[in-house]
Amino acid sequence: MKRTASLLIMLAGLLAPLRAIAAETQAPVITALGDSLTAGLGLPQDQAFPAQLEAALKARGTDATVINAGVSGDTAAAGLARLDWALPDNASAVILELGANDALQGLPPDGTKQALSKIIEAVQARGLPILLAGMEAPPNMGKDYADRFRAIYADLAARYHLILYPFFLEGAALHDGMTQGDGMHPNAKGVAVIVANILPKVGELLAQVKAKGAN
């Protein structure tokens, strides 16, 4: 009996370093939580933002999985309502892209900001780093609304010490040949531009994941 116990203790001692190595080398899982811009409305899934981002990371030699947690039509409040089941247990980090539908509906910026704050606090409570993707309000909403809406993202990034990418659609919005027929959602080429532009920020996000794993 004593010999068996000794063998079990020795085996546990041998396995512990292996488990530590496995934890360190496990590919990070980035959850892209967003609306139709993340979900890839009108596109094959392999051309949606999460799939193209994962492919771009792998092309750079970075082994990471990007989960598509986008739902078309979601406001910030709707994203908050489904956060518990949308964020997988094995998530390593989050790209938060919500707010476009709030602006299109003319919802009060304060409400959008409050919902995003609650999402951020819940994600940070799980110890996960966040890349916050900002959004611009449509010009027809007026300058005052647009300014207040734009400020949401910079304010939240400063308050919660987040990585900020100011405008998710940078390089695609209002550019010829980058959007689908509705003039709003990016086509596959537009998504590729978005991915190329946001990659440095995603690199920062993964650096935070690595730093957390080293602690």
Catalytically active residues are 36, 182, 185
Picking from 153, 154, 193, the residue whose alpha carbon sits closest to that of residue 173 is 193
* Tokens linked to 97: 């892209």
Q: What are phi and psi of 67, to 5 degrees?
A: -90, 130
* Tokens linked to 142: 């007026």
H/E run at residue 71: none
Contacts of 162 (CB under 8 A, 6+ apart): 120, 130, 131, 132, 156
Q: Say how far apart CA 74 and CA 194 lie, in whole Å.
A: 20
Cα–Cα distance list, 144 to 50, 58, 74, 108, 138 (Å): 33, 42, 24, 12, 12
